[in-house]
Chain A
Amino acid sequence: MHLAAVLDLILVLLALGAAGAATARLAAGRIVVYGGCFAACAALLGLAGAALLGPEAAPSTLSLPLGLPWLRANFALDSLSAVFLVVIDLGGAMASLYGLGYGRHEHEPDRVLPFFPLFLAGMNLVVVADDAFAFLVSWEFMSLSSWALVLAHHREKATLHAGYVYLVMASIGTVALLLAFGVMAGPGGDYAFAAIREHGLSAGAASAVLVLVLVGAGSKAGLVPLHAWLPLAHPAAPSHVSALMSGVMTKVAVYAAVRILFDLVGGVQWWWGAIVMGLGALTAVMGILYALMQHDLKRLLAYSTVENVGIVFIGLGLTLAFQADGLVTAAALSLSAALFHVFNHSVFKSLLFFGAGAVQTATGERDMERLGGLIRFMPVTALVFLVGSASIAALPPFNGFASEWLVLQAILASPDLPQWALKFLVPAVGAMLALSAALVAACFVKAFGITFLGRPRSKSALQARETDAVSRGVMAALAGLCLFAGVFPGVVMEGFAPAVRQLSGGAVPVSEGAQWLLLLPQAGSRSAYSGVVVFVLILCACALTFFVVRAVGSSRTRRAPAWDCGFPDPSPATQYTADSFAEPIRRVFGTVLFDARESVDLPAPGDMRAARFEVRMRDYAWDLLYEPVAVAIAYAAERFNRVQFFSIRRYLTMVFGALIFLLSVVALWR
C-alpha cells in the first residue's frame, strides 16, 4: 500500500521532468518544477516516515510488467529502504525549496530544470528496487541525470573535464555492480533479490562480490582511491544539485553497499570487516587532509564528504566484523552509528552547500582567498553556516557529535573480537578516526573563518548582500534539525530501529523508556550521553556567566581601531589566507602525504618585480592509479584503433578466424 503510493510519487517526479523541459524558459517554470518536487519529496518523506514509525509489517512488494519479460520490474519497501527514503527525500525537499530561491540566478535553466526531478526520481527508484535489473537501470538513470546536471554550466572548461571524469567513473562503477549482480545471481541467472537471498553464495563468490561492490558502490560514495571524480563533479554542478550529490547520492551508494553486503550475500566473514574498516579509515584521513589543502569552498566541502563517507564505512566495517563473530548488540550499535551518521551528514552537508551557494550568488566567488568579512553583510547565512560547521566538526550539542560518539563507542566494544588482525587494526582505525575528527575542526575553522570573518579581501566580497528569504528559511530549518538531532539523538534513532533490527538482529541502543533523555551504546552499559542535559547546562552556564559578569563588572563597550600589537595594517591582504591558515598542518602532514613543496622567488634588492610564493602538491592517487590506467587504456585504444582501417579482405579474415576459433572450442569442449 505504501509502496504503490511511493511508485506513484516517483511517476509524478518523472512527469515533472517532462514539465521542466517544457516550461524551462518561462518564469513560472522554476516554481512549477521546484514546487512540484518539493511537494512530491515531502509526500515521499511522510510515507517513508509512516512506514518506519508505524507498526512493523512485512515488507510490501510489487511487481510491474516493465523491463525484461521473464523478470518484470520488482519493487519492495522494507525498513532499510524506508530509512534511505527518509534521507533522500529530506534532502530532496530541502534542495527543491532552496532551488526556488537560488534558481532565480540560474543562467541556463533549461539545462537544470528537466533533469532535477529525474535525478530525484532515479535516487528514489534505486532504493525501492527489488531486483538487479530495476536496480541497475535506476542506478544508471541517477548517474546520467546527475551527469547532465553537472554539465549545466558547460561553458566553463573545468566543467567539461569534470563531466568527462564523472562519466568514466560512473560507468566503471556500474560495470562493477553489474558483475557483482552477475556473480550473485549465479549460473541459475535469477536476478530477483528474493531469489538471490534464497540460494546463498560460496565463500569465494561472496568475496568477489565484496570487491566488486567496493569498487562499484565505493566509487560512487567516494572511497579512496576511487574518489577523484567527486571533488571535480560536485563543485561544478549548481549548489542545490551539489548538495544532493554530496549529501544524498553518496548515501544511495552506501545503501547499495549495505543492501548487498548485509542483506543479499549473507555469510559474512571477519576479514570483510577488516578491509571495509581499513578503507574507511584511509578515506576519512585522506579526505579531510585533501579538504584542508583547498581554497575553493565547494571543493573543500566535496572532499569533506569523502571524509564523512569514510566514517560511515568504518561503522559498516565494524558491523561486518561483529556480525562475523556473532556479537549481535555490538553489530546493532555500529550499524546504528553508521545509519545515524548517514542521516546527519545529509542534513549538515546540504546546509553547508546551500550556504556556499548563497555565498557564490552574493559575491560571484567560490575562492575563499577572495572572500572575507561576509558576516557583516550576510548575518543569517553566516549563523547557519556556523551551525553547519560546528555540526560537521562533531561539537556538542549538535548532531555530528552524537553520531561520532556512537562510532567511538562501537570501537570501544571491539576488544571482544578474537581475530589477531582485528586486534591490531581496530586501535589503528580508532586513532585514524580520532585524527580525522580533529582535522575536520581545523578545516571548518578555516572554511568559516576565512570566508565569513576578517576583512573583505576583494571588491566582490564588499558587495555581498544577504540571500532571499526562502533560502534563509531552508538553511535555518536544516540548522534547527541539526540541533534537534544533536539534543535528542535517541528520538531520531528510534526511527532507524526497524532497519537495524532487520539487518543485524539486535536492538538500537536506547535507555528504557527515556530515549529522549539518554543515549546508551548497549543495553546495560555504564556509559551514556544526554544531549538534553549537556545543551541545557551550556545554556545555563552562558546565561549565568553573562549575568554575573554584568553584575560584577561594567557593561560598557567602546569601538576603536584593531590593536594588532600597535602596528595595524590597513590592507586586508595582510590577513591570513586559506593557504596560510593550513600551512602548519600542511607542513606536518603534507610533506609526506602530498609531497608538498614551497618555493619562494624573491627578486634581488632594487628589482621592482613582484615576489612569488608557490606551493606544489601531488595527488598520489591520481599519479599512481588514474594516470597509469588512463595511459594504458589510451595506448590500447590507439592499438585497437587500427582495426578501423582494415581492407575488406582483412575483415573477412577476422570473420573467418572467429568462426574457426568457435568451432574448435565446440570441438574441444566435448
Chain B
Amino acid sequence: MQQHGLAFDVAHLLAGGMLLVSFVLLYQRRMFAVLNSFALHAIVLALAVAWQAFVQDAPHLYITAAIALLFKGIIIPVALHRIVVRLEIHREVETVIGVGPTMLGGIGLVALSILVVLPVTASSAAFAREDLALALSIVLLGLLMMITRRNAITQVVGFMSIENGLILAATGVRGMPLVVEISVAFSILIAFVVFGVFFFRIRERFDTLDVQYLGTFRGGQG
C-alpha cells in the first residue's frame, strides 16, 4: 500500500466525487433533481479547485473556485429552475435508452478514458495522470448525457458538466496560465448558450421574441 500525502488523497477524492456526481446526473429522472445535482457538481468542482489553489499555492485559482461556486453552483441552477417553472417545461427527463444501460455506457466511457490516458502518460507523475483520466471521464459522461437525453435543459446541463470537467483538468495541471480568464470566458459562453436555447424555445412557443408582443399574453391588460 503506497503512502501518499494528504494533498494527493484529498485531490483524488474530490475528483472522484465529481465523477460520482456525474453518474448521479445520469441517474436522475426528474428535472429539479437534475438541477440540484448539477449545483452539487459545481460545488464539488469549487472545492476541488480551492484545494488545488491551497496545495499549489496559486491564489488566482481561488477566484476560479469562487466563479464556479457563484455562477454555476447558485446563479445558473436558480435561473434554470425559474425557467422550468415559467415555461412549464416537462418535469420528467426523457431518455433515449434506459437509465441502467446509460450508466453502463458511462462505466465503459470511464474505462475508455483510463485506457487512453494512463498508458500514454506513463512517464508523468501519478497524480497528474490519474486526475487527467478522471477529468476526461467527466467530460465524456457530460457528452453521454447530452446525447441520451431529449430535453433542452438536460442537454445544457450536460454541456456545463463538460465544461466543469475541463476546468478540473486545467486546474489539476500545475501552472496552467490564464485559467481564471478562460473560466470567465467559458461562463459567459454558457450564459449565451442558455439564453439562446431559451429564446429559441420562447419563440417556438409564442411565435415571437418581441417583448412588446409577449406582454399581450399576460392576463389582465391587453
Instruction: Say whether A associates with B.
Output: yes
Interface residues of A (CB under 8 A from B): 420, 424, 588, 592
Q: Which residues of B contact A420 (CB under 8 A)?
A: 115, 119
**Once the chains bind, are B111 and A592 in contact (CB under 8 Å)?**
no
In the assembled complex, the Cα of A420 lies from the Cα of B111 at a distance in Å of 11
User: Which positions 104-118 of chain B face chain A at CB distance < 8 Å?
Assistant: 111, 114-115
In the assembled complex, the Cα of A592 lies from the Cα of B101 at a distance in Å of 9
User: Which positions 74-125 of chain B face chain A at CB distance < 8 Å?
Assistant: 98, 100-101, 111, 114-115, 119
Partner of A424, one of B100, B101, B115: B115
Q: Which residues of A contact B101 (CB under 8 A)?
A: 592
Give A431's nearest chain B residue, CB to CB: B107
Q: Which residues of A contact B119 (CB under 8 A)?
A: 420
In the assembled complex, the Cα of A588 lies from the Cα of B98 at a distance in Å of 10
User: Which positions 134-182 of chain B face chain A at CB distance < 8 Å?
Assistant: none
Least CB distance from B1 to A in Å reads: 13
Give B112's nearest chain A residue, CB to CB: A424
Q: Which residues of B contact A424 (CB under 8 A)?
A: 111, 114-115
Interface residues of B (CB under 8 A from A): 98, 100-101, 111, 114-115, 119
Query: Chain B: interface secondary structure?
Result: helix
Given contacts A420-B115, A424-B111, A424-B115, 5 further A-B contacts (CB under 8 A): A420-B119, A424-B114, A588-B100, A592-B98, A592-B101
Q: Which residues of B contact A592 (CB under 8 A)?
A: 98, 101
In the assembled complex, the Cα of A592 lies from the Cα of B97 at a distance in Å of 10
Give A588's nearest chain B residue, CB to CB: B100
Query: Chain A: interface secondary structure?
Result: helix
Least CB distance from A645 to B in Å reads: 53
Q: Which residues of A contact B115 (CB under 8 A)?
A: 420, 424
In the assembled complex, the Cα of A424 lies from the Cα of B114 at a distance in Å of 10
In the assembled complex, the Cα of A420 lies from the Cα of B115 at a distance in Å of 8
In the assembled complex, the Cα of A424 lies from the Cα of B113 at a distance in Å of 12
Closest 5 CB pairs of A and B: A424-B111, A420-B119, A420-B115, A592-B101, A424-B115
In the assembled complex, the Cα of A365 lies from the Cα of B175 at a distance in Å of 76
Least CB distance from A77 to B in Å reads: 46
Q: Which residues of A contact B100 (CB under 8 A)?
A: 588
Q: Which residues of A contact B98 (CB under 8 A)?
A: 592
| A/B interface sample: 8 pairs, CB < 8 A | A420-B115, A420-B119, A424-B111, A424-B114, A424-B115, A588-B100, A592-B98, A592-B101
Q: Which residues of A contact B114 (CB under 8 A)?
A: 424
Least CB distance from B22 to A in Å reads: 19
Least CB distance from B215 to A in Å reads: 49
In the assembled complex, the Cα of A69 lies from the Cα of B108 at a distance in Å of 57
In the assembled complex, the Cα of A592 lies from the Cα of B99 at a distance in Å of 12
Give A592's nearest chain B residue, CB to CB: B101
In the assembled complex, the Cα of A420 lies from the Cα of B112 at a distance in Å of 11
Least CB distance from A601 to B in Å reads: 26
In the assembled complex, the Cα of A657 lies from the Cα of B210 at a distance in Å of 85
In the assembled complex, the Cα of A243 lies from the Cα of B98 at a distance in Å of 40
Least CB distance from A597 to B in Å reads: 15
In the assembled complex, the Cα of A424 lies from the Cα of B111 at a distance in Å of 7
Give B101's nearest chain A residue, CB to CB: A592
Least CB distance from B2 to A in Å reads: 14
Least CB distance from B180 to A in Å reads: 37
Least CB distance from A197 to B in Å reads: 37
In the assembled complex, the Cα of A588 lies from the Cα of B101 at a distance in Å of 11
In the assembled complex, the Cα of A592 lies from the Cα of B98 at a distance in Å of 10
Least CB distance from A440 to B in Å reads: 21
In the assembled complex, the Cα of A201 lies from the Cα of B101 at a distance in Å of 43
In the assembled complex, the Cα of A420 lies from the Cα of B117 at a distance in Å of 12
In the assembled complex, the Cα of A413 lies from the Cα of B171 at a distance in Å of 36
In the assembled complex, the Cα of A592 lies from the Cα of B100 at a distance in Å of 10
Least CB distance from B137 to A in Å reads: 14
In the assembled complex, the Cα of A420 lies from the Cα of B100 at a distance in Å of 26
Least CB distance from A425 to B in Å reads: 10
In the assembled complex, the Cα of A590 lies from the Cα of B100 at a distance in Å of 13
Least CB distance from B99 to A in Å reads: 11
Q: Which residues of A contact B111 (CB under 8 A)?
A: 424
Q: Which residues of B contact A588 (CB under 8 A)?
A: 100
In the assembled complex, the Cα of A97 lies from the Cα of B1 at a distance in Å of 56
In the assembled complex, the Cα of A4 lies from the Cα of B52 at a distance in Å of 76
Least CB distance from B120 to A in Å reads: 11
Least CB distance from B222 to A in Å reads: 51
Least CB distance from B42 to A in Å reads: 30
Least CB distance from A230 to B in Å reads: 28
In the assembled complex, the Cα of A97 lies from the Cα of B100 at a distance in Å of 49
In the assembled complex, the Cα of A592 lies from the Cα of B102 at a distance in Å of 12
Give A424's nearest chain B residue, CB to CB: B111
Least CB distance from B98 to A in Å reads: 8
Least CB distance from B4 to A in Å reads: 18
Give A589's nearest chain B residue, CB to CB: B100
In the assembled complex, the Cα of A588 lies from the Cα of B104 at a distance in Å of 14
Least CB distance from A460 to B in Å reads: 40
Least CB distance from B179 to A in Å reads: 32
In the assembled complex, the Cα of A588 lies from the Cα of B114 at a distance in Å of 29
Least CB distance from A428 to B in Å reads: 8
Least CB distance from B136 to A in Å reads: 16
Give A591's nearest chain B residue, CB to CB: B98
